Chains A and B, each alone.
Chain A
Amino acid sequence: MNNYHHKLISVILFVALLLVICTSLSAGQYDLSFMQVVAWFFHKMGIPFFENINVTEQQEAVLMFIRSPRTVVGLLVGAGLAASGAVLQGLFSNPLADPGIIGVSSGATFGAVIAIIIGINSTSLIGLPLSAFIGAVIAVSLTIGLATRHGRIPVLTLLLAGVVVGMLFSALTAAMLTIMDDHKVQQYLFWTIGSLDYRRWEHVLMGVVPISLGIIIMMLMARHLNILALGEAEAKAVGMNVTKFRLILLAVATMTTASSVCITGSIGFVGLIIPHMMRMLVGPNHRHLLPASMVGGAVFLVFCDAMGRMLLPNSEINVGIMTAVLGTPYFLYLLRKNMDIR
């Protein structure tokens, strides 16, 4: 993995990002071509290119108020989930860790159900996300609390505690569902599959600060993550306060994931497979892995969302379904390919 290799990957990821953004802006039921989107960009920035391509006022409104916020939410959430996944995998020195494993998703789901039962999701835009966020934070705190003993957080105990807390909250959610009205169950189902539908600039505003902040902190901590990923014994040998850094990174990853999940509903696979893919491309050093995962996650999620709008005429497939459907085969392919080399 030399410098040239890393630069090449950066360029590829950046180009993919631009392509996917334009695709996402042009995809959907309202007719807009890829080139119109590109032209709109240039018009907006005042660069005299593609002046012959016309974008109507109505099209501009669709771009501005429907597709842009949706795309930006997708970028933010994809980047946040993938970067958090990379951090958690490094933190647990376990390549199978993902944001779901410490209870974030089940906690958020429970919080969302509570919000739906109380009905604050229909009275205010921020009600459900806030409730989901609180649920996630409670679940993760419970996980960490269960796993901490004598000021230490053993990785295996933490993973087990995460599984147990996840089950607990899933059970609580199930219990709530049995006493809920049908139309509220419908709302819950809608949330739980995870979608970027109807996301507005308000959603962007909600997520942009915590998610960007989380990503920036995680990137600043890359060097510490490299040491943690070597395992507890090695980290101690070079003088790291393992518990302190585990807690800090757990907190940041939780905040980032919870902020993402509470806006879109739970979206699986991004946090698991994107860091994996990127590790195969740029290697395990987190100084390269975290930025790559961030961009990779953004590209993947927005791509999945755009595909979900293009595959079926007159209807959409939720992005949460798309990530799983597209992610699984690609992940398996990568795994098999990697096995062949060894």
Chain B
Amino acid sequence: MSLMEKILSVKNITTGYDKNIIITNASFDVNSGEFIGIIGKNGAGKSTLLKSLRGFLPLEKGSITLFGKELKSYSQRELAVQIAYLQQQVEMTFDYTARDMVMAGRYPYKKWWEQSSDEDGDIVDACMKYTGVMELANTPIKAMSGGQRQRVYLAKVLAQQTHVLFLDEPASGLDLFYQEEIFRFCQEMCKYGKTVIMVVHELNLAARYCSRLMLLKEGNIIADGNPEEVLTDSILTEAYGVDIRSLINKETGHVDIFTVPAPDDGRKKELIKMIVGDEHNHGKAVTYE
């Protein structure tokens, strides 16, 4: 597959949950090898966009084509070998081991009566080694830390061997090191021709690793381009509704993004006084009479 080949084409889609429309008139193309970060504030419609691209939500209007074929015409299984999708929060009732979980990624390749083969086992092993969870293969997922768990889920998504990866906030709530590692994994995968679309909250990391950013505000894509084009003060300020600055850090060469605090108003001071209290108890017991 040559680079810069168009793999996904979205035309004027309007979508949401039942009658509750969230995304309106979104259009864009996705090329092979891109690492796209979908950014925007909470409730802007990032996850909804990703879900509708995967075909989980019915389109109210517009069309999505994947590899030149209408998304609707794919069967569930056909889609699962083209796009791997990692949901925001995997809720597990039973305590599966890491290996069981990663093996789930091989599901779409099997006919219903087939059992997993040695080849599946090899692919699963390779994925777990790549994300560094091979030693945890027989460990129950519930006994793992958040970072380990996320690496297991990443291995599962990779075991699906799809050209396209959709990841919904895979780095949220992780330690800094693990967050960056996930971005590095994705960047590397894209270098080898995979395409990644990821919902991201960490703007600084998105700026450094993503090849393209898509900024959402209230269900509309208000900016779409490379990180330098999207992460400007004015665009970010508009999207997030608070005063935002982005600066290139001279020492690291990375983009630093931060909010400018609103000017202090008198009312807030009153509230703080109320919360903190005038007198502290300092070890005294509170007595009730």
Contact = CB atoms under 8 A, between A and B. Distances in A.
Interface of A: 1-2, 90, 93-95, 220, 223-224, 226-227, 229-231, 233-234, 236-241, 279, 283-285
A1 B84 CA distance: 28
B80 A238 contact: yes
B107 A229 contact: no
B79 interface: yes
A239 B87 contact: no
B93 A283 contact: no
A295 to B, nearest CB: 20
Contacts of A230: 90, 92, 96, 101, 104
A236 B108 CA distance: 10
Interface of B: 54, 56, 75-81, 84-87, 90-97, 100-101, 103-105, 107-108, 110, 112-113, 115-116, 138, 140, 160
Given A93-B93, A229-B94, A237-B87, A223 B80 contact: no
28 contacts: A1-B138, A90-B94, A93-B93, A94-B93, A223-B115, A223-B116, A224-B112, A226-B100, A229-B93, A229-B94, A234-B87, A234-B104, A236-B56, A237-B54, A238-B80, A238-B104, A239-B76, A239-B79, A239-B107, A239-B108, A240-B107, A283-B140, A284-B94, A284-B95, A284-B100, A285-B96, A285-B97, A285-B100
Contacts of B115: 223
A221 to B, nearest CB: 8
Contacts of A241: 76-77
Contacts of A233: 87
B113 A220 contact: yes
A2 B139 CA distance: 10
A238 B79 CA distance: 9
Contact of B94 (A2, A95, A220, A237): A95
Contact of B97 (A224, A237, A283): A283
A325 B59 CA distance: 55
A238 B110 contact: no
B154 to A, nearest CB: 13
B99 to A, nearest CB: 9
B105 A238 contact: yes
Nearest to A93: B93
A328 B77 CA distance: 43
A231 B101 CA distance: 12
A282 B105 CA distance: 22
Contacts of A224: 112
B93 A231 contact: yes
A95 B93 CA distance: 8
A336 B56 CA distance: 41
A224 B54 CA distance: 21
Contacts of B160: 238
A227 B107 contact: yes
